[in-house]
Amino acid sequence: MTSRPRALVTGASRGIGKAIAQALAPTHDLLLGGRDQAALSALATELGNALPWPLDLADPDALTAATAEIDRLDLLVHSAGVAELGAVADTPAKVWRETYEINVVAVAELTRVLLPALRRARGTVVLINSGAGLRANPGWGAYAASKFALRALGDALRAEEEPHGVRVTSVHPGRTATDMQRGIRSAEGGDFRPEAYLTPESVASAVLMAATASQDAHLTEIVIRPAAR
């Protein structure tokens, strides 16, 4: 790998995370985070300046070990996430805990251990949030609560780290044509029509804008909605 800016993208094996990795590849060296080793290896081969970084983000010991040799990081993109829909009356504690573990706790812990590397590079942290992090709808309680918490995490982190030169951007996409969205629409009993949604590439473009902003600009929050078509 060359000495270009270095980025770590979680959830890089598919969907928005994969599109982000592809958008960054021309300008960044990449660590591709995820649990699907085969998919990560295939993407790394496709992109060239990329290495698979397989990891269970819910395993704090593995996370600490995997980040031990990262001494400088220009960009950290948190794209990994889970969603399980259901009314509050039907959602057991197990679902709440698992949702928060991946969508909030793992994000906070990975960021924490990488902050020295991010500070050294005066880097950027991008949190892929959701429209559900701005408004909660029926049946979305656990997921929306985790995304509201992720927004709060981003706001606190931004205020704490801006004096160290670290920028923090929360990206709130509307419904995006991914496998996750296909599953959500199935759970809601609706049709999955990709043409009505954002493309993962559109979300990736917003991330690229935040990652490559000039030093006098700090994109704190980006909200993206599908255009009427």
Query: Can you tell me whether residue 78 is helix, strand or coil?
Result: strand
Query: Can you tell me whether residue 104 is helix, strand or coil?
Result: helix
> Is 100 one of the catalytic residues?
no
Look-up of token digits 């983000």? 57
Q: How far apart are CA 128 and CA 150, in angstroms?
A: 9
Pairing of β 6-9 and β 29-34: parallel
- 30 sits in which H/E element: strand 29-34
Q: How far apart are CA 55 and CA 34, in angstroms?
A: 6
Give Cβ neighbours of residue 193 (< 8 Å, ≥ 6 apart): none
Edge-to-edge strand list for the sheet holding 124-128: 50-54, 29-34, 6-9, 75-78, 124-128, 167-173, 221-224
Given 53, 140, 143, 148, which residue is catalytic?
Answer: 143
Residue 51: CB atoms within 10 A of its CB come to 13
Would you state the structure tokens that stand for residue 152, as one six-digit string? Answer: 């709060």
Q: How far apart are CA 227 and CA 34, in angstroms?
A: 30
Residues annotated as part of the active site: 143
